């Protein structure tokens, strides 16, 4: 599958990861899906509710806030298509915790933040049988083209 993210949306994701450093920053991705293709339209940065001393390696989103985000997405004619989060001084690959919590279909964007600066973002998806996460093709779209 291909996942398209407009440049300004990617800037926002990187910015949230940098702002959250050295903790993990996370949020929801709102967009559209059609067949094998998904496209982000906007992101909703959300508070990391994990225990404060563990936020450098974990994140937790509030289920109530996710429900509100789903309602908001619907009002905009969009849907929640995934989750983005950062890995402070850690590679942009799923951790064991990410594997444990990932649900199929959602796209998971992971941004590595090295010494406070966003370095690399990769997109992942959990297989239907929960066996592993596979990498998606991530396409950054510049301008309005
Ligand atoms: Zn993670």
Strand partners, 118: 113
Residue 144 CA to ligand 1 centre (angstroms): 30
Instruction: Tell me what the pLDDT averaged over the chain comes to.
Output: 95
Residues with CB under 5 A from ligand 1 (ion): 95, 98
Q: Residue 89 C-alpha to ligand 1 middle, in angstroms?
A: 11
Q: Are 95 and 57 in contact (CB under 8 A)?
A: yes
Q: Which residues of 73-103 are buried (b: 16+ CB within 10 A; e: fewer)?
A: beeeebbbbbbbbbbbeeebebbeebeeebe
Q: Which domains, and CATH codes, for the chain?
A: 2-141 (3.40.140.10)
Closest CA to 101 of 58, 43, 48, 144: 58
State the alpha helices, DSSP H only, in 53-139.
63-75, 96-101
State the pairing for strand pair 37-46/117-126: unpaired
- H or E stretch covering 108: strand 107-114
Handedness of CA 75, 107, 83, 141 (dihedral sign): negative
Indicate the DSSP class of residue 22. Answer: T
pLDDT of residue 91: 97
Output the CA 25–ligand 1 centroid distance in Å: 10
pLDDT above 70 for 145: no
At 25 the pLDDT is 97
pLDDT in tens, 91-114: 999 999 999 999 998 999 999 999
Sign of CA dihedral 144, 72, 123, 48: positive
pLDDT value for 144:
58
Instruction: Please tell me whether the overall predicted TM-score, pTM, comes out greater than 0.85 for this model.
Output: yes
């Amino acid at each position: 599958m291909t996942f398209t993210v407009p440049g300004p949306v990617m800037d926002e994701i990187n910015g949230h990861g940098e702002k959250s450093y050295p903790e993990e920053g996370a949020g929801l991705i709102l967009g559209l899906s059609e067949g094998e293709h998904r496209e982000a339209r906007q992101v909703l940065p959300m508070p990391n509710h994990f225990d404060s001393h563990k936020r450098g390696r974990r994140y937790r989103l509030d289920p109530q806030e996710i429900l509100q985000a789903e309602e908001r997405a619907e009002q905009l004619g969009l849907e929640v298509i995934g989750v983005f989060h950062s890995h402070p001084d850690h590679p942009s690959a799923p951790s064991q915790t990410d594997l444990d919590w990932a649900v199929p279909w959602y796209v998971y964007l992971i941004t590595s933040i090295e010494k406070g600066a966003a370095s690399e973002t990769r997109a992942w998806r959990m297989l239907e049988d929960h066996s592993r996460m596979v990498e998606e093709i991530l396409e950054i779209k510049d301008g309005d083209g």
